[in-house]
Amino acid sequence: MEHVGIQAAAPVARNEGDGEFKVTDAAVAHIGKLTDKRRAEGKPTEAIRIGLRGGGCDGFSYVFEWADKPAGKHDHVLQLDNGAGGTVRLFIDKKSMLYLKGTTLNFVTGLMGHGFKFENPNVKGACGCGESVQF
């Protein structure tokens, strides 16, 4: 199932129109590794749910969690080739997509560790710990 406004990203991030949610190749590859590990442990691997929920110092926190159930009828579904012959799927709820348009999901590695990073142009501010954002 493909939805308008959601595209996979090239190694940096492909820009193919306004309002997209982009995913870098590094993020797709790491999600693929996590999916394979989870599958080997016998756990459900339906998709990763991405979104926002109220809370934190600045009002919103990002959601990045396993979705064990199929997508809801209002979810945006992004299915991406993980480069290893498989696919990974992301679910984004309709309300969160309003705040995530133009966002790039990346996987970064640096001196301070590694992890997924939301590069969201809609963010107006973030708390000092970096765990919550405001719009």
Within a 10 A sphere around the Cβ of 61, how many other Cβ atoms? 17
The predicted-structure confidence for 20-63, as pLDDT tens digits, reads as follows: 899 999 999 999 999 999 999 999 889 999 999 887 666 788 88
If DSSP codes are grouped into helix, strand and coil, which group holds residue 96?
helix
Q: Where are the beta strands (DSSP E) in the chain?
A: 22-23, 47-54, 60-67, 76-81, 87-92, 104-110, 113-119, 125-126, 133-134
Question: For the chain, what is the domain count?
Answer: 1
Answer whether residue 69 is part of any domain.
yes
Domain CATH code at residue 31: 2.60.300.12
Answer whether residue 125 is part of any domain.
yes
- Output the pLDDT for position 3: 44
Query: pTM score, two decimals?
Result: 0.76
Residue 108's domain comprises: 22-134
Answer whether residue 94 is part of any domain.
yes
Distances in Å between the Cα of 76 and the Cα atoms of 20, 40, 109 are: 11, 27, 28
Q: Which of 101, 91, 122, 121 is nearest to 19 (CA)?
A: 101
If DSSP codes are grouped into helix, strand and coil, which group holds residue 84?
coil
Answer whether residue 2 is part of any domain.
no
The predicted-structure confidence for 93-106, as pLDDT tens digits, reads as follows: 999 998 899 999 99
Answer whether residue 4 is part of any domain.
no
End-to-end Cα spacing for the chain: 29
